[in-house]
Structure 1
């Protein structure tokens, strides 16, 4: 299993747009074979930092998801939402291996 950790620098004035973006991707990741663990929005502390975690059975499965997302109409709409609203300033992606019981 591989877990993707995303750290976002967001526009704090566009938190509602980012939340909508996150809701869309939770559905999309799950539909395209992953398990989304949620988006985590600012509460206390930094107001321009958010996180997301989702897992795939393997790195190969994640790569298939990435390929599919490039042509999937719903994914393209989600990408467009972020671009048009400017809610995401930048993001970082890390790949993690979970330790589970």
Structure 2
């Protein structure tokens, strides 16, 4: 299993657009065989940082999702929403693996 951690720098004045973007991706990642663990939005502290976590069974499954999402109409609409609204200023992506479960 691989878990993808995304850290977003967002435009705090466009939070509603980012929320729309996030809701779309939760559904889309799940449709493509992943498990979305949610988006985490600013509350206290930094007003322009948000996070997302989602997992795929393997790095190969994640790479297939990335390839397939580029031609999927709903994914393209989500990409366009972020581009048009400029709700995302930048993002960082990390790949994590879970610690083995209890013995």
Normalising by the smaller structure, the TM-score range is over 0.9
Match of 1:4 in 2: 4
Q: Could you tell me which runs of 5 or more consecutive residues in structure 2 were left unpaired when the two chains were aligned.
A: none
Q: Give 1:100 shift.
A: 5.2
Secondary structure at the counterpart of residue 50 of structure 1: strand
Map of 2:31 onto structure 1: 31
Give the total of aligned pairs: 101
Normalising to structure 2: TM-score of the pair? 0.96
**Which residue of structure 2 aligns with residue 63 of structure 1?**
63
Q: Distance in 2 between matches of 1:74 and 1:47?
A: 28
The higher radius of gyration belongs to 2
Structure 1, gaps ≥5 residues long: none
Aligned match of 2:21: 21
**Equivalent runs, 1:42-57 vs 2, <5 Å:** 42-57=42-57
TM-score, with structure 1 as normaliser: 0.98
